[in-house]
Structure 1
Amino acid sequence: MTNVTAFQHGRQIASGPRDEVARVLAEVLEAQDGTILVFDDCTGRVTDLDYRNVAPRAAGRPKLGVQAREVTLLPKHWDWLANQSGGASATLRRLIDQERAKGRTDRECRDAAYRFMQAACGDMPNYEEALRALYSARTDEFQTLTSAWPGDMVRFMDRLLGEQVLVA
């Protein structure tokens, strides 16, 4: 399940699974109006949430969000999948989960932070210098340049970057 983080005026107002964040946003916007930006926690991309008409969580098993799509493989690949336990779908899910567990590359982490910065931080002091420091792997300089930014935004960038990038 995809996790997202929502910001309003530089302050984090919700973070977690999409459905839960959508419910929080519906409550926030019922109490007050304002611009809210929602970001994918993995890619840093702005994402849309439909928080209008959010239904309360129903009792019972949650909806898994399974989507059927077409996969095109060569016969030898289908043969291999047919011999795996659990069938083709289960095997593909297992392989994808294994790759996802390996984590993101430094470049993917920096790109995620860049996408967030581009959408949410363009008016912040030292924005362009911080971008240059980000891609030049000048970690100390990046942290100094962004230190005056709202704490929630800095913590989210740190989360996008991950420990391996911050110590590089």
Structure 2
Amino acid sequence: MAWLDTACTAFEGSRCISSGTLKDVALATKPVVDRWASSISPPPVLIFDDATSEVIELDWRGTLADFVTRLDAQDHAMRSATPEPRAEAEAVEVPRGPGRPKLGVSAREVTLLPRHWEWLASQPGGASVALRKLVEVARLSSEVKDRVRNAAAAGYKFMSTMAGHEAHFEDASRALFAGDQAGFEAQIAGWPADVQVHLKKIFKDAFAA
């Protein structure tokens, strides 16, 4: 994915300016930055990566045309610096019996204890089928845990940046890590509306899981 296609959200203080791809959000944010350019105490204008809540730093200087040129140049530089993903090794085709579909499986060595092989051999379809089922279950289980952990980390990072000074921040943090959605939403109810909306978007997967 191109750097400028990164999903992100921009804030002017606690007000959401725009959400979408980085290019669209940056273009919507540039006039806001320019409007505050001569102010002694402007509100913070920040763009957050939606997936990680990392702040995306941009060079806002110059005209809109200058800004767009720099954006495109940075995107091109990041594309050039990122190696192309290597093609996956071609799967080893195992001999197929009559009517057996081509699964695209790879034959690789697996080391198990004798009792494990005995149990696998007793399963319907034999060891290979049983192993594939076990791996798929583990993969799906890990996927959910990873999504929850990543959402919690991203949400807490955003909270710390945007709402660390808000009332009930510590209570909201405890509710977050306890998986208490109702308690969390009750603690942030007095926070700025746009901050609440963004936090609920980040935590959607985590609390659902």
The alignment-based identity, stated in percent, is: 27
The 2-side partners of 1:38 and 1:15 are apart by 9
The secondary structure found in structure 2 opposite 1:120 is helix
Q: What does 1:132-151 align with in structure 2 at a 5 Å threshold?
A: 132-151=174-193
The 1-side partners of 2:59 and 2:82 are apart by 23
Partner of 1:165: 206
Name which one, 1 or 2, has greater alpha-carbon Rg.
2
Deviation at 1:138, TM superposition (A): 1.0
Partner of 1:123: 165
Structure 1 outlier segments of 4+, above 4 Å: 70-73
Could you say if the C-alpha distance between residues 129 and 7 of structure 1 is closer, same or farther in structure 2, counting changes exceeding 3 Å?
A: same
2:59 to 46, 50, 55: 50
Q: What does 1:61-80 align with in structure 2 at a 5 Å threshold?
A: 65=76, 66-70=79-83, 79-80=89-90
Are 2:175 and 2:181, in contact at CA under 8 Å, matched by a contact in 1? Answer: yes
Q: Which moved more, 1:132-141 or 1:21-30?
A: 21-30
Deviation at 1:7, TM superposition (A): 1.0
Give the AA of the match of 1:22.
Answer: A
RMSD: 3.0
The secondary structure found in structure 2 opposite 1:105 is helix
The 1-side partners of 2:82 and 2:200 are apart by 34
The 2-side partners of 1:7 and 1:50 are apart by 16
Q: Which of 1 and 2 has higher RCO (CA within 8 Å, sep 6+)?
A: 1
Consecutive unaligned residues of structure 1, counting only runs of 5 or more, are 82-101
Partner of 2:151: 109
Partner of 1:15: 19
The 2-side partners of 1:117 and 1:141 are apart by 16
Q: What does 1:21-36 align with in structure 2 at a 5 Å threshold?
A: 21-33=25-37, 34=42, 35-36=44-45
Task: Give the TM-score taking structure 1 as reference length.
Answer: 0.70
Consecutive unaligned residues of structure 2, counting only runs of 5 or more, are 92-142
Task: Give the TM-score taking structure 2 as reference length.
Answer: 0.57
Deviation at 1:106, TM superposition (A): 0.9
